Structure 1
Amino acid sequence: MDKHFTVKQIGVICADEGGFRIEIAPEYRDSLVGLDGFFYINILWWFSGCDNEQDRSVLSETKPYTKGPDTLGTFATRSPQRPNPIALSCAYVTYIDVSHGIVGLAYIDANDQSPVLDMKPYTPSLDRVEEPEVPAWCRHWPNNVETSGEFDWESEFNF
């Protein structure tokens, strides 16, 4: 079952005084053509700060959420400590500059210089669940990304 895959970094996340954006490597900039018009994108990126043997061996978290169970398996969390430190974020696109390879974002929950692996347009027909069901301990979380920014996330996490 142990297979190895080659993953190529297509760009980098910038989170600095200039705001949030993705800078796409020159050889991938043509991939941005046609992305304009999609106001949200799904971004696959690498939790590069957790790419070490210790963080990759974490399979459970002790009380990661203040209102959650005492122990959760890694796959039941959004923790960066996981067998493969791959992250998925849905972000609002503020602008696209194809010639310079820049995708502006309103916000992304990634550190500056995090490697970007891929981007896909958010499409409601494939990405939206009308009535998602979640465990009772997190049912009070916002129902959508638009209201998520106003939520007090700091009081929800223990990490």
Structure 2
Amino acid sequence: MECDPIGTVHTPFETTSEAPRQGFRDDAEGILDVDPAYREGLTGFDGDRVVVVWWADRADRSVLTLDRDPGRGVFTSRSPARPNPVCVTECAVETVDPTAGRLDLRGVDMADGSPVIDLKVPLD
């Protein structure tokens, strides 16, 4: 399996533990920078929301049960700590500049510098 980041997200959170548990519960702002090779993929983007698929690169990949709820495994949660830390956050789009590959977002819950692996249009 191969997966290359398409960009990086910049947020006010240095670690995943500083980030809110779920982005939609917070108004934290961030900037998503799409790498030049992928900026053409923003052509025609005009949505007010975007689903950011990102990699929690600093998450503990050995965790299988939740410390805060010992009766639950990580696959019953949205915790970034998991064997393959693929995370999904739906964010509000404040502005988008396809030429610069920049999206200004609200509702981020990822640590600063987290790699972004995809962007999706949310379901209605």
How far apart are the structure 2 equivalents of 1:23 and 1:63?
A: 33
**1:24 and 2:29 matched:** no
Count of paired positions:
108
How far apart are the structure 1 equivalents of 2:123 and 2:73?
A: 29
SS in 2 for 1:29: helix
- Tell me how far 1:58 sits from its aligned partner: 1.6
**1:48 and 2:44 matched:** no
Runs of 4+ in 1 over 6 A off after TM superposition: none
- Tell me how far 1:77 sits from its aligned partner: 1.2
More strand by share: 2
- Tell me how far 1:60 sits from its aligned partner: 1.1
CA RMSD, 1 decimal: 1.3
**1:39 and 2:48 matched:** yes
1:2-56 deviations in whole A, cap 9, x for unaligned?
xxx100100000114xx411000000000001111x1111110010111xxxx22
Larger Rg computed on CA atoms? 1
How far apart are the structure 1 equivalents of 2:54 and 2:76?
A: 19
1:58 aligned partner: 63
2:92 aligned partner: 92
User: What letter is aligned with 1:25?
Assistant: D
SS in 2 for 1:56: coil
Normalising to structure 2: TM-score of the pair? Answer: 0.81
More helix by share: 1
Residue identity over aligned pairs, in percent, reads 32
Could you list the runs of 5+ residues in structure 1 that have no partner in the other structure?
A: 65-69, 125-159
SS in 2 for 1:31: helix
Normalising to structure 1: TM-score of the pair? Answer: 0.64
How far apart are the structure 1 equivalents of 2:67 and 2:33?
A: 35
**1:81 and 2:91 matched:** no
